[in-house]
Structure 1
Amino acid sequence: MSGDHNLCLTAEGTIVGRYGGFANKVRAHQAWAIPLPDGLDPATAGPLFCGGITVFNPIVQFDVQPTDRVGVIGIGGLGHMALEFLQAWGCEVTAFSTNPDKEAAARDMGANHFVNSKDPQALEAVANSLDLILATVNADLDWGAYINALRPKGRLHFVGVVPHAIQAQAFALIAGQKSVSGSPLGSPTTVAKMLDFAARHSIAPITETFEFNQVNEAIAHLESGKARYRIVLKH
């Protein structure tokens, strides 16, 4: 949700475990209230404070280099922002999706390569090629195939909550010194860094806007899986 003020609040400090997610005013600790830099539109910046920071945090946390080859699993609310950030970061980016119709959109968002993850041969073709893979999906996949796509000392990192236990062969991890990890949101310091980076590179979430009195329609649109890619409620 976004309002008309040039100040946004991270979800962790305002909404999680509290009432008022759809309020037009909110009170929060000053440490979690971060001014928007010039150049970021308040009407669309809101999703940066959830999906945006979720995928930006690993880039900073793991010291991703512009020369790294990074994969993104899922072209949705999280994945589309990951593609934008990684492209601006200078990485060579590979998008993985079960929907081949998303290839053009993924390339427009910053992907250099597109892999139809329903095609085992396409997955095998990228074996041993990626330094980092960000899993943004909420689905169970063949994680061994993605571990196989990592280079030695590569990392499969989860920011999407998959339903069941993550299955992986220990030998593949040991032989390649590969790792599996996960992370939540980022700190206020990392949020501020993300906002500056987004403003500098004109990065913004792709959003659809609904008037506040259309909140039920907006939720139905989201639940139907038709949202592209974040919904903003406008007061």
Structure 2
Amino acid sequence: MTTVAAYAAPAPKAPLERTTIERRPVGAHDVLIDIKFAGICHSDIHQARDGWSEGIFPMVPGHEIAGVVTEVGPEVTKFSVGDRVGVGCMVDSCRECDNCKAGLEQYCTGGGPTLTYNDTDKQGEPTYGGYSENVVVNEDFVVRIPDGLELDVAAPLLCAGITTYSPLRHWGVGPGKKVAVVGLGGLGHVGVKIAHALGAEVTVLSQSLRKKDDGLRLGADHYYATSDPKTFEELAGTFDVILNTVSAPLDFAEYVSLLRTDGTLVNVGLPEEPVQITLQSMFGQRRSISSSGIGGIAETQEMLDFCAEHGVGAEIELIGAEEINDAYERVTASDVRYRFVIDTATI
């Protein structure tokens, strides 16, 4: 075991503080990653504050990890020392169920995937995330970061990127498709960039027009305020896909009315509160409400390669580790454009 520095929440809703954690020895199929940057995802805050369910504490959040391989196990074949790599939201799965065999490890039915933090591994030990100096991960759950992406802007792609890329690809977004992205935050701004790069006509639906200039700069063709009732009248029956990235309850009937026949509203934001859906809003035009998690490992690599090819990286604000708690407050206040990334050299 190796002792490394990290930032952890010692208890639910407690401020994060500098501490030390134990990392397992590098096994035969493991790689040791010197973490360079770790993104702050809103889900880090939900979990550190027990917003979704009871967590495992002390908790070291962070599932947007970018770094460099510093050691490999004797049977590793995919990576070498010095490789630029990333780790996302999961670090293992059962490997045996139909979904795992199909490259859908995120939907593992053999007990679910092992999450990068706030989970236990197959040995029953707690998993600790990227707000730390290094991490040991099985090579099968590590992805390569292409040279065309800087590590700091690539880190958020390991969650925000794949969380938006996977549903956009699954629902066939591309040229000739009209896509709306609800919310221009940490998830939404990456979703806009990716949808634009895929060739779709992209509209941002945000509560106000405060970020309109940013939205258009990032690749949106149109920008509307959802606080204006005329928006829902003007855009009725417009979109093939609506990607909802906000983590708050919406009036789903209003948003479903914006879909074309056979259109789909896909939810990737996860509110802490229960939400209500009016089934009558979907009748008549064969509209759907769905959801999507992250992507599998192969699709995550595909996403990174796509982003490198199209120059897509996250818009970030780089912070030191001592600023994590302030960053949490700013995220909940929507005061970030658009993703905080921790320089882990400051841990």
Q: TM-score range by the shorter chain?
A: over 0.9
> Partner amino acid for 1:12?
M
2:323 is equivalent to residue 214 of structure 1? yes
- Paired with 2:133 and 2:333, the residues of 1 have a C-alpha distance of 26
2:148 to 39, 53, 63: 39
- Paired with 2:231 and 2:327, the residues of 1 have a C-alpha distance of 36
TM-score by length of 2: 0.65
Q: Percent identity?
A: 31
Which runs of 4 or more aligned residues in structure 1 lie more than 4 Å from their structure 2 counterparts after TM superposition?
none
- Paired with 2:129 and 2:316, the residues of 1 have a C-alpha distance of 22
> Partner amino acid for 1:146?
Y
**1:8: which partner in 2?**
86
2:304 is equivalent to residue 195 of structure 1? yes
Cα deviation for residue 138 of structure 1 reads 1.1
2:234 is equivalent to residue 125 of structure 1? yes
Deviations 1:74-122 (A, max 9, x none): 0100000000001111100110001211111111111111111011111
Cα deviation for residue 3 of structure 1 reads 5.4
Change (3 A) 1:223 1:59: closer
Cα deviation for residue 66 of structure 1 reads 1.6
1:71 to 167, 170, 180: 180
| Structure of higher CA gyration radius | 2
**2:244: which partner in 1?**
135
> Partner amino acid for 1:180?
I
Unmatched segments (≥5 aa) in structure 1: none
**2:20: which partner in 1?**
none
- Paired with 1:214 and 1:122, the residues of 2 have a C-alpha distance of 38
Cα deviation for residue 16 of structure 1 reads 4.4
Q: Tell me the SS of whatever aligns to 2:223.
A: strand
2:276 to 157, 163, 166: 166
Task: Work out whether residues 4 and 43 of structure 1, in 8 Å CA contact, stay in contact via their aligned partners in 2.
Answer: no
Task: Work out whether residues 240 and 263 of structure 2, in 8 Å CA contact, stay in contact via their aligned partners in 1.
Answer: yes
Task: Work out whether residues 58 and 183 of structure 1, in 8 Å CA contact, stay in contact via their aligned partners in 2.
Answer: yes
**2:200: which partner in 1?**
91
Deviations 1:134-177 (A, max 9, x none): 0000112221111111000000110001322232233x323101
- Paired with 1:184 and 1:227, the residues of 2 have a C-alpha distance of 23
Change (3 A) 1:118 1:220: closer
> Partner amino acid for 2:204?
A
Task: Work out whether residues 47 and 205 of structure 1, in 8 Å CA contact, stay in contact via their aligned partners in 2.
Answer: yes
- Paired with 2:160 and 2:217, the residues of 1 have a C-alpha distance of 19
Cα deviation for residue 124 of structure 1 reads 1.1
Task: Work out whether residues 124 and 145 of structure 1, in 8 Å CA contact, stay in contact via their aligned partners in 2.
Answer: no
Unmatched segments (≥5 aa) in structure 2: 1-37, 39-64, 69-83, 92-115, 120-126
CA RMSD of aligned residues (A): 1.5
- Paired with 1:94 and 1:211, the residues of 2 have a C-alpha distance of 34
Greater RCO, CA 8 A, separation 6+:
1
Cα deviation for residue 216 of structure 1 reads 3.5
Change (3 A) 1:216 1:122: closer
Q: Tell me the SS of whatever aligns to 2:211.
A: helix
1:108-123 pair list within 5 angstroms:
108-123=217-232
